[in-house]
Structure formats: structure tokens, C-alpha cells
Chain A
Amino acid sequence: MSILVIAEHDNAVLKAATLNTITAASQLGGDIAILVAGHQCGAVAQAAAQVVGVKKVLVADAPHYANQLAENVAALVVSLAGGYSHILAPATAAGKNTLPRVAALLDVAQVSDVIKIDSVNTFVRPIYAGNVLATVQSQDSVKVMTVRGTAFPAAATTGSPASIEAVAPVADAGLSSFVGQQLTQSDRPELTAARIIISGGRGMGNGDNFKLLEDVADKLSAAVGASRAAVDAGFVPNDYQVGQTGKVVAPDLYIAVGISGAIQHLAGMKDSKVIVAINKDEEAPIFQVADYGLVADLFVAVPELSRELDQLKAAG
């Protein structure tokens, strides 16, 4: 058995989701190779080589891999696929974009969003927005799967360096090109990697009021998220969204502020270790999953929370 993991990166940094995927690969057993497809991505290859469990790093360095265009990356993965029993990618925007293309070209099914590995061919995945879990068995010779990062711990990055091999790029398919991007600039941790998240919902009223959450977030080194209602209302950009159609998170502490707790949102955060809900409506469904519920006006409670955190800090 040998496993190919597709690295998620931005040509400079190996993204954390890759480490969770490598843990899933380790649970399958067998040799793990990791593919870094990018442009001038040597630093990523070096980082990938340090991940515990990785036996070999394959690097395809070419300008047409710089932006992870699915048409090009999929063709590359297919050219390398021979001999691998499993091909894994993180269930991120990039992984979800590319991997089904790989599966179709190999004429095999894809198993999406794997959250548990039962055996080399049997996996558990959420369906119906996580309201139901399906255990599925693959009949295909190659198992192509995306892995939900929150379901597996991150692999350590303290391994003895694996070998790094250059692989030949496949010619640019010429079907697509990168035009530009508008990424949200923030000094706070990424949602999917944060230990603490504070999220706001429709109850925040407007985008300016998210400053209240940002203030608390900075004191806790937390990420700021939002419900779909808050995103749809235009309070914050779409990449803040936690939920079935946004990001799925499982931090140590999730603080839901002014969020009613629609199924859609719960699907994205219910695996958090500790959930706090602050909402003035004591009937809000969010309280049914919260470990600690505070029925209060958020515009009073959140500034108070901020002051309490200051006191805590002052007291050491």
C-alpha cells in the first residue's frame, strides 16, 4: 500500500490542513508520499519533508501550478497516480476543486469529507449537513478521498527529513488562467486553525459591531467567524462563514454571539470542545448545544467579557 497526499500551500507555507490529512493517511497504513505542486515552492517542500510519517516529497515546480488551477493539478496527479492505492487531499476549497477531477479521470469514485477511517476501504463521512453519518465501502482499486481536517489531529512537523524528488510537470492544459484574488487580510489566526473562535450572527446588527468581537478575539488570540445570516446580510465577507456551506471548525472554545443556531450553522461548529452561547433569546436553538449559555444583550455582555478578560490578564 502506498498513499499520495496532495499538499495545500501558497508556494510559501504548507497549510495546516495538510497535516491533518497526513494523520488520516497514517491511519490507513503504508508509505506516504506528499505532492507539492506549485511554483518556486521549495520552502513548502522543505516543510513537507519534516512532517512525521512522510516518506517522500514529490515536487512539481512550474509556473502553471502557481495558482492551483484544477485542470493542471489534476492532470499532474493523474500522471503520478500509478502505484498508489490511495490519493488524499484536504477537504478545503482547493482540495474539493481538484480531487473530483482526479477521480473522474481515473474512473473511480471520490469519498468526500472523510471523518473516520474504519479500514483501508471503509470510511465514515457526514451527509445531510452532518445530521447523518454514512459508513461507505469503496469498490475501486484506487481510493480517492478528501479529508475533513477537524476530524484528525495535525501530524507533527519534527520528523527526520524525508527525501525530496522533482517530478516532471505535465504541459499547461491552457484551459484556464488565474486573474486575481481578494484575500481577507488579518493578523488573527485562520478559522480552521484557531484554538478559540468568536462568531457573530444576525444579532450583531451590522458589520461595524463586529469590532466588539474583534476586541475580544485579540485578547484571546482567537479567530472571528460568522453565521451565514451575518454573511448574507453583508456584515462580513464570505470567508468568515462557519457552517455546512462555509467552514467546518472544531476549536477548543467556540463563542457564538447573537447566533440563533440554525442547523446549517451547527453543522459547522458542533464538534467544538466547549461551546458558549450569548443570545438574548433564551429559546434560541444554540443553547441546546452550548456548554455555557448566557441569556443577555450582546451589546452589554461582550464589552463586559472584554473587561473581564483584561482583569484576568492583570491578575496574571
Chain B
Amino acid sequence: MKILVAVKRVVDYNVKVRAKADGSGVETANVKMSMNPFDEIAIEEAVRLQEAGKAKEIVAVSLGVAACQDTIRTALAMGADRGILVETDAELQPLAVAKLLKVVVEKEQPDLIILGKQAIDDDANQTGQMLAALLGWSQGTFASKVEIGDGAINVTREVDGGLETVAIKLPAVVTSDLRLNEPRFVKLPNIMKAKKKPLAVLKPAELGVDIAPRLITLKVQEPPKRQAGIKVDTVAILVDKLRNEAHVI
């Protein structure tokens, strides 16, 4: 089985982001960038399937600026076999990413595509579902467990009331949730090896895809800050305040 994994370069999860003063976007200059944490889980799952003898080849794909090569190299260091960057400086929204990935998928013919369930920058949670729709494939989103069977996979999904398991036909799209696995730490020798793995660069124009944004961002701002309240000394005072001041119990 061949697995394709999509990885996104995002502002590192430890960075406290700030809106630009003019409201045009988020400050990303001189900010640490990393692989989207959900995508690390996606790569890890692919590598584990390969280690279990269930997958032959893993291709890591990223879309965006030239620096996304770093993100792909991280994926290669984790265990992916080769990388593809669809390079553009243009803003890419989920629908455009799904369309670009579709063309890559048609060339690569993977049996399984794994993506993070959402990116921690735009929090859209759309690309995997959109890609599955455009391909006419099945989808197993928010996965916490993936079991490969014959021609189908069982995906256990994190849903609002607990867990749900669906059987989806291959080829399929899976999106990873937090509890699918714990990604490995990358070891130095693997980082060195990753530098020698193949990485192809494509341009959106070569793929013949319209990537024009469909949503225009008019304004980006920080929400009103919540004010810290008071400290109370005892449980009795707390209960009294909740009863007689806040009127919530």
C-alpha cells in the first residue's frame, strides 16, 4: 500500500500569536514555524503502518512557500520516503489545497491519504473532507484508531458523545485526531538521512488548478480580554458570592 500524507507549515503551537496593528493579518515575521501538530500525528501513523508491513511507500506533500521544504524534511526524518512541494507564495485556502492535492493524488495513485484533522493556524478542519469529496473517496475523519483490513479500513472516530467506528473502502482519506498516536522524536542520524531523500518541487500553474481565494479576510483582531476577578479565601465565601453576587447557583 502506498500512503500520501499532507503536511502544513504553521506558526509553532508554543507561540502566542498577535494580530497586526493594522488588522490585516497575524504577525508571522520572525516567528518560529513548525509542522502542524495534527500532521505530525498523520506522518507518525503512516510510518507505523510501514513498520508493521502494511505500507510500502510514504510520500509527504506540502503546499506553500519555499520554506515548506523544511516541513517536508521533518516528515522525511520521521520516516517518509520522499517529498513533493507544491510551491507558491499565494494564499492557499482549504478548497484550493484540496484541488492541488487531488492532482498530486491522480499522479501518485496512493491507496490511503492521511492528513491532520485541522491546522492550528486557520482552524478550518476542511481539507481532508474536501479532498475525499473531490476524489469521490470515502473518509474517516477525527481518527483515534486505524485498522487496515482487506480492501477496507476500520476507523475509530472521536465524536461528540464518545467514539464511533466506521468501515471505509479503500482508497480512502483519513484525518488524524490527537489520540491516534504520539509522534516520535526525530533522531539526528535520521535528519541527516532525510537530507538525501528525494524532494520534487511543482508549481500550481503546472497542475492547472485555479487557486484563487474564495474568502477575503477583511479584518483580523484580538478578542476582548477577560478581566481577572477576585480571589476568595474560603469555600464558604465562594459559595456565597456565587449565590448572592453572581446569581449562578
- Show the binding face of A for B, using Cβ within 8 Å: 67, 69-71, 74, 92-94, 96-105, 107-113, 122, 126-140, 174-184, 190, 192, 196, 220, 228, 231-232, 237-239, 244-245, 247, 252-253, 263, 270, 273-276, 282, 287-296, 301, 304-305, 308-309, 312
> Given A108-B95, A128-B121: A276 and B242 within 8 A (CB)?
yes
Residues of B within 8 A of A304 (CB): 235
Interface centre among A108, A129, A131, A288 (most CB of B within 10 A): A131
Whether the Cβ atoms of B125 and A96 lie closer than 8 Å is yes
B142 touching A93, Cβ below 8 Å: yes
Q: Say yes or no: B158 contacts A238, CB within 8 Å.
A: yes
* Separation of A245 and B94 alpha carbons in the complex (Å): 19
Q: Residue B162 contacts which of A107, A178, A239, A287 (CB distance < 8 angstroms)?
A: A239
A266 CB to closest chain B CB (Å) equals 9
B contact residues, range: 35 or more
- CA–CA, A305 and B234, complex, Å: 10
Alpha-carbon distance A109/B216, docked complex (angstroms): 11
Q: How far is the CA of A105 from the CA of B133 in the complex (A)?
A: 6
* A109 touching B178 in the complex, CB below 8 Å, given contacts A137-B218, A239-B160: no
Are A293 and B230 CB-contacts (below 8 A) given A109-B93, A175-B168? yes
Q: Which of B11-19, B106-114, B194-202 contacts A (4 or more CB under 8 A)?
A: B11-19
B-to-A contact residues, CB < 8 Å: 11, 16-19, 26, 93-95, 98, 120-134, 137-142, 144, 154, 157-169, 177-179, 213-223, 226, 228-236, 238-239, 241-243, 246, 248-249
Residues of B within 8 A of A291 (CB): 229-230, 246
Find out whether the CB atom of A184 lies under 8 angstroms from the CB atom of B218: no
Q: How far is the CA of A93 from the CA of B164 in the complex (A)?
A: 11
Who on chain B is nearest to A8 by CB?
B160
How far, in whole Å, are A69 and B19 apart by their CA atoms in the complex? 38
In the A-B complex, the 6 residue pairs with the smallest Cβ-Cβ separation, listed nearest first, are A291-B229, A109-B214, A100-B129, A104-B130, A175-B138, A100-B126
Instruction: Compute how far the CA of A147 lies from the CA of B131 in the bound complex, rounded to whole angstroms.
Output: 22
B242 lies within 8 A of A101 (CB)? no
- Residues of A close to B226: CB separation below 8 A: 270, 275, 288-289
CA–CA, A293 to B226, complex, Å?
14
